[in-house]
Structure formats: C-alpha cells, structure tokens
Amino acid sequence: MVSITKKPLLGMTLPELKELASSLGMPVFTGKQMAQWLYQHPVERIEDMTNLSKANREKLMEEHEVGHRPPADCQRSVDGTVKYLFPTRNGRFVETVFIPDGDRGTLCVSSQVGCKMNCLFCQTGKQGFEGQLEPADILNQIYALPERDRLTNIVFMGQGEPMDNLDAVLKVTSILTSEEGWAWSPKRITVSTVGLKHKLRRFLDESLCHLAISLHSPFHEERAGLMPAEKAMSVDEIIDLLHDYDFTHQRRLSFEYIVFGGLNDSPAHIQELIRLLKGLECRVNLISFHPVPGVNLKGVNMEKMEAMRNELTRNGVFTTIRASRGQDIFAACGLLSTSKKLER
C-alpha cells in the first residue's frame, strides 16, 4: 500500500492554517485565504489558490497538498441512492452513501476503516478494525462528493464508531459548523454511537450536533448479545447520562432500533422502551433488518413495524419508520464493508 507523504491542508482549522503560514514565512492573513479556498470556494489543487503569490504556492506545495481525493468507484441504486468508494491517506478505502430525497440530500459518512464494535448484525463489524480516518479522510468524503452542492444533511452513520475516533470527528464537525469553515448549522449534522463511556459525555459537552444512539434492545443481556459495547457502557448508564442534558431546544436525540423478528419486537420490549425513555425528549427510529451473511437474525414485515410504531407513539414515545434505501447495492444500514477492497 502506498501512503500519502504530503500533508493535507483539508482538515486544518483557521488557527492551524495561520500557524502554518507563519511557519513558512508567509503573512498570517495567508492562513485565512487558504481557509477560504478550502471551505468556501473549494479547490482541488494549491495551484488554484490564485490570490496567493506564486512563490507562496510553490512553498506550500513542497510539503502540502489540498487533500482532495476523488472517489475510486461508485454504485447507483434503483432508488437513486449512490454509494462511493473513497481512498484514504493510508492506502485503504471507505464507503460513503449519498441519499437524495426531493430537496433533501443526506450523506452517510464513515469515520473509520472497519470497526472495533463487532455488532452481531453489522457487516462493517465483520470486517474488523483497519484504522482511524484522519480529519482529511472524513472531510474528503464531503469535499470530493460529486453531489456536494446538493447536500443538506450529514450523518455519521457509515463505517466505524464515531466516538472511537472522537478527536477527528469533533474537529470535522467544528470545521463544518464554524464561520471560517462551511458555516453549517449543527442541526444539519447527526452523529451516531453505540455509547462509549467518557466519550459520549465529551461529545455532548463539546458539540451541538444531533445525537443518535444505536439501541436495538432495552434489555442489558440481550443488547450485550447484539452489541458487545453494552458490557462497557450499559443502556441504563447511557440513559442516566442523557438525562443530564437538555434536548428540548436545538439538539435532537434519537434512538436507532433495528427490528429483529422474534428477538426484540415483543410487547415486553415495547413496554420496556416506554419505561426506559420516559422523561427524555427524543424519538425512536425503527429500521428494517437487512440480512448479513452468517448471521442468524431475521427481519419483520411492515405491518409489524407499523404496529410497534403506533404503540410506542400512543404511549408518548414519538416513533418513525426509517425508509430503507440502497439495499440493492449494499448501501443500507449495516451493510457497508470494504473488506474485499482491502484484500486487493
């Protein structure tokens, strides 16, 4: 595998860009010019930063590059969903999914190559962990996206556990929401997590982005069987922590719940969800299970999903059914994997 030796400007904050300019003997304001070229008028090459002098551009190019990496491949679903394969700076690949829906365009972004969490129902977990993504790798999934101008929302629900790469994720969301970056509202960004001790509280303290908790069962032993991370931070600990924060204003809290037939779809599960989430301003998103090779789990029909949604909503837990997109190209929830690409 060939690693990239030049350092990316993509993923650097305004203070870092100013510091870089100063270290290279350039005026400090050159850092602001670079930030504008990266985040407000995106360019692919340092040569295209035309208000920097030729000498300064050449000096930058000696050890730096923008960090733009176009997708190596793409697959298009019959429903309009597009899955892209992006190269990373360490010579590996990640998958990113663009989901168009009328005037709305959502990008499902990856934060790691593979994943350590090893959730039973997730194809990414079967891949194992292959490495962290640098901020440049994460941002490049947005920066080099052909549909970039159509984006309205970003969800960190691709490959990897965002809280397990929290420094990079926080840096990326800061650039996306800062005035000198993309200047997005935090309301346009959702970060999903299984719940990692210490990391979850830090995220809530340092970010205003929406939060999605991968729940999938309200019972400790059952959730641990589905998600080994439950053993380190239980669902009860997660809920206790969430009660310390206010979700009645800008920030939204949601719980992702994949419905497995005969496992987590009983009346007892519904009643425990109602009890568990009482007093939290939140929503539950019910998700269809998409079969994973070698996993003895099954989904349910839409009638069952609607019955669960109606019962939860009737008891004060606002619940929706998330539409499944991109299943025919393995772009739906839990199906992302680059294990075959890594074997090349």
333 assigned to active site: yes
The stretches of the chain forming alpha helices (DSSP H) are 14-23, 29-39, 54-61, 123-127, 135-143, 166-177, 199-206, 220-226, 235-242, 267-277, 302-314, 339-342
- The single residue of 108, 119, 122, 333 carrying the catalytic annotation is 333
Q: How far apart are CA 18 and CA 12, in angstroms?
A: 10
- The single residue of 19, 65, 95, 282 carrying the catalytic annotation is 95
Q: How far apart are CA 156 and CA 171, in angstroms?
A: 13
Do strands 112-114 and 104-108 pair parallel, antiparallel, or not at all (unpaired)? unpaired
108 assigned to active site: no
Residue that the structure tokens 């994943």 belong to: 115
**Rg of the Cα atoms in the chain:** 21
Q: How far apart are CA 288 and CA 125, in angstroms?
A: 18
Residue 258 carries which DSSP code? E
Could you write out the DSSP letters of every residue in 100-169? EETTEEEEE---EEE-SS--TT-HHHHH-EEEEPPHHHHHHHHHT-TTGGG--EEEE-SSS-GGGGHHHH
Q: How far apart are CA 99 and CA 76, in angstroms?
A: 10
Q: How far apart are CA 124 and CA 128, in angstroms?
A: 7
- Pair 210, 186: CB distance under 8 Å: yes
Q: Give the catalytic positions in this structure.
A: 95, 333
